[in-house]
Amino acid sequence: MDEPTNDLDIATLTVLEDYLDKFPGIVIVVSHDRYFLDRVVRRIFAFEESGQIGQYEGGYTDYRNKALAEEEAAATGNKETGKAISKKDWKQPSAKLKFSYKEQREYEVIEDEIAALEEKIETIEADILKAATNFVKLNELTDEKEKTQQMLDEKMDRWMYLEDLKAKIDSQ
């Protein structure tokens, strides 16, 4: 999969992540979406500057922490780069948590999107009351309300995730 998260809306991205979590086979993913990589991968093969391919267990954050530790070991003259580093020699890099570009943009507009969906539901409910005697129109409005409610629920879940992430970022 080459950049699978590009141009996906949140609902589709969630479906893709859930599918990949349950997929029993092997998938090769090329992506710059760090959150997505943390969420779905268990092993990273990284093309290193030396022309070698490094293998790292875990998601993107694990890879980044190990790569920084290896760089630090190389800078301090530890010749056992790529091998296990003792705890006294290993210094935990301070990997700051932050929004990806996509998450930041989403965080900026999600409350307005939620408000718009809530207003749409109120409008549909008013239309349902007006169309109480028109069975066909009532069915159409009911279907539209269910779809809109589902979208609202998904946006609310995503908003909660982004708020939690924002709180973690602010507490660093």
Flag whether pLDDT at 85 surpasses 50.
Answer: no
pTM for the model: 0.46
Structural domain includes residue 139: yes
Alpha-carbon distance 160 to 110, whole Å?
10
Flag whether pLDDT at 117 surpasses 80.
Answer: yes
- The residue range of the domain holding 132 is 101-170
Structural domain includes residue 7: no
CATH code where residue 139 lies: 1.10.287
**pLDDT at residue number 93:** 52
Structural domain includes residue 111: yes
Structural domain includes residue 37: no
**pLDDT at residue number 15:** 85
- Residue 107: CB atoms within 10 Å: 17
**pLDDT at residue number 81:** 47
- Residue 152: CB atoms within 10 Å: 17
Structural domain includes residue 41: no
CA-based torsion, 111, 117, 118, 120: positive or negative: positive
Across the chain, the runs of DSSP E, i.e. the strands, are 43-47, 53-57
Number of domains comprising the chain:
1
Structural domain includes residue 36: no
52-56, 131-135, 151-155: the lowest-pLDDT one: 52-56
pLDDT (tens digit, 9 = 90+) per residue, 25-43?
888 888 888 788 877 888 8
Structural domain includes residue 141: yes
**Best CA proximity match to 1, nearest among 11, 10, 13:** 13
Structural domain includes residue 117: yes
For residue 124, name the pLDDT band (cuts at 50, 70, 90).
Answer: very high
**What is the average per-residue pLDDT within 113-134?**
93
**Best CA proximity match to 169, nearest among 99, 101, 79:** 99
